[in-house]
Amino acid sequence: MTRIVVLISGNGSNLAALLAAEDAAARRTVAVLSNRDAAGLAHARRCNLPTHVVKPRRGESREDYDTRIDAALAPYDPQLIVLAGFMRILSAGFVARHAGRLVNIHPSLLPKYRGLNVHQRVLDAGDAESGASVHFVTSELDAGPVLIQASVPVLADDDEAALSARIHKAEHRIYPAAVELIAAGRAHAESGSIWLDDTPLTAPLQARFDQHGVLIAWPQQLTD
Ligand code: GRF
Protein backbone atom coordinates (compact mmCIF):
# COMPACT_ATOMS: atom_id res chain seq x y z
CA MET A 1 0.00 0.00 0.00
CA THR A 2 1.53 3.31 -1.07
CA ARG A 3 1.34 6.00 1.63
CA ILE A 4 0.32 9.38 0.26
CA VAL A 5 0.20 12.86 1.72
CA VAL A 6 -1.86 15.41 -0.24
CA LEU A 7 -0.98 19.12 -0.18
CA ILE A 8 -3.77 21.62 -0.86
CA SER A 9 -4.46 25.34 -0.64
CA GLY A 10 -8.05 25.62 -1.86
CA ASN A 11 -11.37 23.83 -2.15
CA GLY A 12 -9.82 20.40 -2.29
CA SER A 13 -12.11 19.00 -4.96
CA ASN A 14 -9.20 16.99 -6.37
CA LEU A 15 -8.44 15.77 -2.86
CA ALA A 16 -12.06 14.61 -2.59
CA ALA A 17 -11.82 12.82 -5.95
CA LEU A 18 -8.62 11.10 -4.87
CA LEU A 19 -10.16 9.95 -1.60
CA ALA A 20 -13.39 8.80 -3.23
CA ALA A 21 -11.46 6.45 -5.52
CA GLU A 22 -9.23 5.01 -2.81
CA ASP A 23 -11.16 2.07 -1.41
CA ALA A 24 -9.98 -0.63 -3.77
CA ALA A 25 -6.77 1.18 -4.65
CA ALA A 26 -3.06 0.52 -4.12
CA ARG A 27 -2.72 3.72 -2.10
CA ARG A 28 -3.85 5.33 1.11
CA THR A 29 -3.91 9.03 1.85
CA VAL A 30 -2.53 9.23 5.37
CA ALA A 31 -2.56 13.00 5.94
CA VAL A 32 -3.45 16.32 4.30
CA LEU A 33 -1.34 19.42 4.61
CA SER A 34 -2.03 23.03 3.67
CA ASN A 35 -0.24 26.35 3.75
CA ARG A 36 -3.44 28.10 4.88
CA ASP A 37 -6.84 27.39 6.46
CA ALA A 38 -8.03 25.90 3.18
CA ALA A 39 -11.69 25.00 2.70
CA GLY A 40 -10.66 21.51 1.55
CA LEU A 41 -9.30 20.63 4.98
CA ALA A 42 -12.89 20.20 6.19
CA HIS A 43 -13.33 17.29 3.80
CA ALA A 44 -10.14 15.67 5.05
CA ARG A 45 -11.37 16.00 8.64
CA ARG A 46 -14.74 14.48 7.71
CA CYS A 47 -12.74 11.53 6.40
CA ASN A 48 -10.94 11.35 9.77
CA LEU A 49 -7.61 12.20 8.21
CA PRO A 50 -4.99 14.12 10.17
CA THR A 51 -4.54 17.64 8.81
CA HIS A 52 -1.67 20.09 9.21
CA VAL A 53 -1.64 23.79 8.44
CA VAL A 54 1.88 25.10 7.97
CA LYS A 55 1.59 28.85 7.47
CA PRO A 56 4.52 30.79 6.07
CA ARG A 57 6.11 33.16 8.57
CA ARG A 58 6.95 36.75 7.82
CA GLY A 59 10.38 36.98 6.17
CA GLU A 60 10.84 33.21 6.12
CA SER A 61 12.88 31.87 3.22
CA ARG A 62 11.36 29.35 0.84
CA GLU A 63 13.94 26.79 2.01
CA ASP A 64 13.11 27.30 5.69
CA TYR A 65 9.40 27.00 5.00
CA ASP A 66 9.92 23.80 3.04
CA THR A 67 12.02 22.40 5.90
CA ARG A 68 8.98 22.88 8.12
CA ILE A 69 6.82 21.11 5.52
CA ASP A 70 9.29 18.23 5.62
CA ALA A 71 9.09 18.13 9.41
CA ALA A 72 5.29 17.91 9.23
CA LEU A 73 5.49 15.16 6.58
CA ALA A 74 8.18 13.10 8.31
CA PRO A 75 5.96 11.19 10.77
CA TYR A 76 3.88 9.93 7.84
CA ASP A 77 6.92 8.80 5.83
CA PRO A 78 5.02 9.36 2.56
CA GLN A 79 6.04 7.38 -0.50
CA LEU A 80 4.24 9.86 -2.74
CA ILE A 81 3.45 13.55 -2.23
CA VAL A 82 0.45 14.70 -4.25
CA LEU A 83 0.04 18.41 -4.91
CA ALA A 84 -3.66 19.14 -5.44
CA GLY A 85 -3.98 22.89 -5.82
CA PHE A 86 -1.06 23.67 -3.50
CA MET A 87 -0.40 27.31 -4.32
CA ARG A 88 3.26 27.59 -3.41
CA ILE A 89 6.39 27.15 -5.42
CA LEU A 90 8.55 24.52 -3.75
CA SER A 91 12.27 25.08 -3.29
CA ALA A 92 14.79 23.21 -5.43
CA GLY A 93 16.00 21.46 -2.28
CA PHE A 94 12.54 20.14 -1.42
CA VAL A 95 11.97 18.99 -5.00
CA ALA A 96 15.36 17.23 -5.02
CA ARG A 97 14.68 15.51 -1.70
CA HIS A 98 11.44 14.09 -3.07
CA ALA A 99 12.46 13.62 -6.71
CA GLY A 100 10.27 11.07 -8.46
CA ARG A 101 7.83 11.04 -5.52
CA LEU A 102 6.19 14.42 -6.11
CA VAL A 103 3.30 14.91 -8.53
CA ASN A 104 1.13 17.86 -9.47
CA ILE A 105 -1.95 18.61 -11.55
CA HIS A 106 -1.89 21.79 -13.61
CA PRO A 107 -5.01 23.14 -15.36
CA SER A 108 -3.60 23.44 -18.87
CA LEU A 109 -2.32 21.30 -21.69
CA LEU A 110 1.34 21.58 -20.72
CA PRO A 111 3.76 22.77 -21.98
CA LYS A 112 1.23 25.51 -22.80
CA TYR A 113 0.31 27.98 -20.07
CA ARG A 114 2.63 27.24 -17.21
CA GLY A 115 2.10 29.38 -14.11
CA LEU A 116 -1.00 31.26 -12.96
CA ASN A 117 -4.24 32.64 -14.49
CA VAL A 118 -4.31 29.84 -17.01
CA HIS A 119 -8.00 29.95 -17.97
CA GLN A 120 -8.06 33.66 -18.72
CA ARG A 121 -4.91 33.33 -20.81
CA VAL A 122 -6.51 30.46 -22.78
CA LEU A 123 -9.66 32.55 -23.37
CA ASP A 124 -7.62 35.60 -24.37
CA ALA A 125 -5.67 33.51 -26.88
CA GLY A 126 -8.88 32.13 -28.41
CA ASP A 127 -7.74 28.50 -28.07
CA ALA A 128 -10.24 25.86 -29.18
CA GLU A 129 -9.26 23.43 -26.46
CA SER A 130 -7.70 23.36 -23.04
CA GLY A 131 -7.39 20.80 -20.29
CA ALA A 132 -5.24 19.55 -17.46
CA SER A 133 -1.92 17.73 -17.08
CA VAL A 134 -0.61 15.45 -14.34
CA HIS A 135 3.15 15.72 -14.14
CA PHE A 136 6.08 14.81 -11.95
CA VAL A 137 7.49 17.89 -10.27
CA THR A 138 10.95 19.12 -11.17
CA SER A 139 12.72 22.30 -10.09
CA GLU A 140 11.41 24.18 -13.15
CA LEU A 141 7.80 25.35 -12.59
CA ASP A 142 5.16 23.18 -14.30
CA ALA A 143 7.83 21.67 -16.54
CA GLY A 144 8.26 18.09 -15.29
CA PRO A 145 7.40 15.06 -17.42
CA VAL A 146 3.66 14.67 -18.05
CA LEU A 147 2.00 11.31 -17.39
CA ILE A 148 -1.53 12.06 -18.53
CA GLN A 149 -3.50 14.92 -20.02
CA ALA A 150 -7.22 15.57 -20.27
CA SER A 151 -8.50 17.82 -23.03
CA VAL A 152 -11.82 19.66 -23.11
CA PRO A 153 -13.27 22.01 -25.72
CA VAL A 154 -13.30 25.75 -25.08
CA LEU A 155 -16.72 27.17 -25.99
CA ALA A 156 -17.31 30.56 -27.61
CA ASP A 157 -19.30 31.84 -24.63
CA ASP A 158 -17.01 30.44 -21.95
CA ASP A 159 -15.86 32.61 -19.11
CA GLU A 160 -13.16 31.66 -16.65
CA ALA A 161 -15.61 29.97 -14.28
CA ALA A 162 -17.26 27.85 -16.98
CA LEU A 163 -13.95 26.69 -18.40
CA SER A 164 -12.52 26.03 -14.96
CA ALA A 165 -15.58 23.94 -13.99
CA ARG A 166 -15.28 21.82 -17.15
CA ILE A 167 -11.59 21.24 -16.54
CA HIS A 168 -12.18 20.39 -12.89
CA LYS A 169 -14.54 17.57 -13.92
CA ALA A 170 -11.83 16.15 -16.15
CA GLU A 171 -9.20 16.56 -13.42
CA HIS A 172 -11.31 14.50 -11.06
CA ARG A 173 -11.09 11.58 -13.49
CA ILE A 174 -7.45 11.73 -14.51
CA TYR A 175 -5.78 12.59 -11.20
CA PRO A 176 -6.95 9.50 -9.26
CA ALA A 177 -6.11 7.34 -12.28
CA ALA A 178 -2.62 8.84 -12.59
CA VAL A 179 -1.86 8.63 -8.87
CA GLU A 180 -3.03 5.02 -8.88
CA LEU A 181 -0.70 4.17 -11.79
CA ILE A 182 2.21 5.48 -9.74
CA ALA A 183 1.05 3.95 -6.46
CA ALA A 184 0.63 0.56 -8.10
CA GLY A 185 4.17 0.74 -9.48
CA ARG A 186 3.06 0.86 -13.13
CA ALA A 187 4.39 4.38 -13.80
CA HIS A 188 7.50 6.19 -12.63
CA ALA A 189 9.80 9.00 -13.70
CA GLU A 190 13.42 8.31 -14.55
CA SER A 191 15.98 10.71 -16.04
CA GLY A 192 13.31 13.17 -17.16
CA SER A 193 11.12 10.54 -18.84
CA ILE A 194 8.12 8.58 -17.73
CA TRP A 195 8.02 4.82 -17.84
CA LEU A 196 4.71 3.00 -18.01
CA ASP A 197 4.62 -0.77 -17.69
CA ASP A 198 8.41 -0.94 -18.26
CA THR A 199 8.21 1.07 -21.50
CA PRO A 200 9.22 4.74 -21.91
CA LEU A 201 6.24 6.93 -22.65
CA THR A 202 6.82 8.88 -25.87
CA ALA A 203 3.84 11.19 -25.27
CA PRO A 204 1.49 11.76 -22.34
CA LEU A 205 -1.54 9.48 -22.05
CA GLN A 206 -4.56 11.34 -23.43
CA ALA A 207 -8.14 11.46 -22.19
CA ARG A 208 -10.82 13.54 -23.91
CA PHE A 209 -13.95 15.10 -22.45
CA ASP A 210 -16.87 16.87 -24.14
CA GLN A 211 -18.31 20.32 -23.49
CA HIS A 212 -20.20 18.98 -20.47
CA GLY A 213 -17.08 17.46 -18.98
CA VAL A 214 -18.29 13.97 -19.93
CA LEU A 215 -15.60 11.45 -20.80
CA ILE A 216 -15.43 10.56 -24.51
CA ALA A 217 -12.02 8.90 -24.87
CA TRP A 218 -9.85 7.19 -22.28
CA PRO A 219 -6.24 6.04 -22.75
CA GLN A 220 -6.11 2.45 -23.90
CA GLN A 221 -3.30 1.71 -21.42
CA LEU A 222 -5.63 2.42 -18.52
CA THR A 223 -8.43 0.07 -19.46
CA ASP A 224 -8.12 -3.41 -18.11
C1 GRF B 1 -7.01 22.66 -9.94
O2 GRF B 1 -7.53 23.34 -11.05
C3 GRF B 1 -5.62 22.22 -10.23
O4 GRF B 1 -5.37 21.97 -11.58
C5 GRF B 1 -4.79 23.41 -9.79
O6 GRF B 1 -5.47 23.90 -8.67
C7 GRF B 1 -6.83 23.57 -8.74
C8 GRF B 1 -7.22 22.90 -7.45
O9 GRF B 1 -8.60 22.77 -7.31
N10 GRF B 1 -3.44 23.00 -9.53
P11 GRF B 1 -9.22 21.99 -6.07
O12 GRF B 1 -8.74 22.69 -4.80
O13 GRF B 1 -8.73 20.58 -6.13
O14 GRF B 1 -10.69 22.09 -6.22
Q: Is the CB of 93 under 6 A from ligand 1?
A: no
Question: Are the C-beta atoms of residues 114 and 87 closer than 8 Å to each other?
Answer: no
Predicted confidence (pLDDT) at residue 191 exceeds the cutoff of 90: no
CA of 107 to the centre of ligand 1 (A): 7
> Over the stretch 125-173, which tens digit does the pLDDT of each residue have?
999 999 999 999 999 999 999 999 999 999 999 999 999 999 999 999 9
Q: Is the CB of 149 under 6 A from ligand 1?
A: no
Three-state DSSP at 82 gives: strand
Q: Is the CB of 133 under 6 A from ligand 1?
A: no
Q: Is the CB of 41 under 6 A from ligand 1?
A: no
- What number does the ligand 1 atom closest to the CA of 11 have? 12
CA of 104 to the centre of ligand 1 (A): 10
Give the separation between CA 156 and CA 162, rounded to whole angstroms.
11
Identified catalytic residue from 43, 52, 98, 106: 106
Give the separation between CA 210 and CA 32, rounded to whole angstroms.
31
Three-state DSSP at 160 gives: helix
Give the separation between CA 107 and CA 58, rounded to whole angstroms.
29
Give the separation between CA 194 and CA 149, rounded to whole angstroms.
13
> Over the stretch 58-96, which tens digit does the pLDDT of each residue have?
999 999 999 999 999 999 999 999 999 999 999 999 999
For residue 51, list its beta bridge partners. Answer: 32
Tell me the residue length of the chain. 224
